[in-house]
A and B are shown apart, each in its own frame.
Chain A
Amino acid sequence: MKLAIKRILFLVVVIGIWQAIYLLNIFPAVVLPGPFIVFQSLYSGFLDGSLLVALGASFKHLLIGMSLALIIGTILGVLLGKSRQADETAGMYLIALQSIPSIVWVPLSLMLFGFTEFAVIFVVVLGGTFVMALNVRSAIHNVPPQLVRAARTMGTKGTELFFRVEIPASIPYYMTGVRLAWAFSWRALMAGELLSNGPGLGYSLQFASDFAKMEQVIGIIIIIGVIGAVVDQLVFSKLEKNVLKRWGLLKS
């Protein structure tokens, strides 16, 4: 409880500094609106439904894109994890692909698919797939050999070994992959939507910026940050922690 109070106090101080900067007129009010104007714009945005529509569209892109990324990433990761040949040939390129920032894919995607929602989804897929594949590959490489030996003495081999031992043993790394895929997909989504024709949260941000509605710009930035943190903390980090605990990888 004490931690929550400290965090709230910290937030109040930050907002206070922001308000002070606004009142001192260091930047013109058009460029940097005060916190209350921003919150008011957020409130009316939710009230008239425009932000909800944008959020809904963004989550649709994210859900489709991330699902595809998880599926493709898992298949690629298993392939690289199980086949030495594939890993030696393509593993290095996967790291190269993973290091490409998502926004770099946007022009290519727009050329390939035009100003469509699928162009945005495509960027999300690219954003999540490679990091997922890399983590699934590690997951398979990190199956404790001792567990495989024990399973073999109990007559487990071949595909049964894969499904009854290797898959469950790799779930902790897999969960890390899912959490990172979420983080990367979320960033990719915003990059894609910024340059898209909407709808979506990123598009709303660009739109507000084009019309110099800075209170909306800052408001949407806050929403993006809050959603990113909340989903990570409440869903993926929690899930990962539970798995790590059960698998005995976390000192409780």
Chain B
Amino acid sequence: MLNLNNVGKTYTDQNQGRFEVFSGIDLTIEENQFVSILGPSGCGKSTLLSMVAGLESVSEGAISLEGNDINQPGPDRGMVFQEPSLFPWLNVQENVLYPIKKRLPKKEAEERVNHFLKMVHLSKFKNHYTYELSGGMQQRVAIARALAMDPKVLLMDEPFGALDEQTRHIMHDELTKIWHETKKTILFVTHSIQEAIKLSDRVVVMGTRPGRIIADFDINVSRPRRRDDAKVIELENQVMDLLKDEINKVLKEELDHEASH
């Protein structure tokens, strides 16, 4: 169980003073749940994910995974970024091996690498280097690499944001399958309403200025989900209305700022 208790993030800047990204985030995520965090840019959703990963410090409140407070990165949380962030000096196989190379006996590590490469359908490409792979393939390697650590939670920061539409749909199906197979808890950050509703058990909607949670939807639609399912469309419209106000708020602020200069 992943627990966020009254979590806040504040940056202190020498010139502009304190800047609060968000505050008072309360969230409990059950094991094996697929949860999306959805919000307009600037709401701090990626920052929140980085805090769960332990890459960013927690300014207020506490984050805990199965009762252990999080204050640094750990092998219990695997992360997939928008950029595949693979190591170009290693081939596919070596990239997936990277996180477990020093922690597992050689044979066991290699078996695990093969297992996850098979899961993302890249067994044939295990000796290729990253520059030889397409964006979608690179992101699959990144997913296999994160899974190889056998984390309790898989954190995904807009992992398909840089892919083309078609590849993205394929990746959605792949991820759903991987999630069923591995039974991981997934925390998925996105700004795409369709993506969030298509993939998740639960969609947490964040607002901006100040960043906060404005809604928490359970998506009770059976999988595989069709884009033209009436229930899906209804949910999408519901979230869209919620976000419209938030996006307008940001736009208005920017226009006012423009006008006053």
**Chain A residues close to B by CB (< 8 Å):** 146-147, 149-150, 152-155, 164-165, 168-169, 171, 245-248, 252
Contacts and interface: CB of A to CB of B under 8 A. Distances in A.
Interface in B78-95: 78-79, 81, 83, 85, 87-89
Contacts of A155: 73-75, 99, 149
Contacts, number: 54
28 contacts: A146-B81, A147-B85, A150-B79, A150-B81, A150-B85, A152-B54, A153-B54, A153-B77, A153-B78, A153-B146, A153-B155, A154-B98, A154-B99, A154-B149, A155-B99, A164-B98, A165-B87, A168-B87, A169-B89, A171-B89, A246-B88, A246-B129, A246-B131, A247-B88, A247-B89, A247-B131, A248-B88, A248-B131
Contacts of B83: 146
B255 to A, nearest CB: 33
Contact of B89 (A149, A246, A252): A246
Contacts of A168: 87, 89
Nearest to B149: A154
A177 to B, nearest CB: 17
B190 interface: no
A251 to B, nearest CB: 10
A146 B54 CA distance: 15
Contacts of A165: 87
B53 interface: yes
Interface residues of B, number: 24
Given A155-B74, A155-B75, A149 B129 contact: no
B89 to A, nearest CB: 4
Contacts of A247: 88-89, 131
Interface in B85-135: 85, 87-89, 98-99, 129-131
The 3 closest A-B pairs by CB, nearest first: A154-B99, A150-B85, A248-B131
B56 to A, nearest CB: 10
B55 A149 contact: yes
Contacts of B54: 152-153
Nearest to A165: B87
A147 B54 CA distance: 15
B129 to A, nearest CB: 6
Contacts of B130: 248
Contacts of A169: 87, 89
A153 B55 contact: yes
A169 B79 CA distance: 20
A149 B72 CA distance: 12
Contacts of A245: 131
A13 to B, nearest CB: 41
B113 to A, nearest CB: 14
A153 B87 CA distance: 14
A47 to B, nearest CB: 47
Interface in B171-206: none
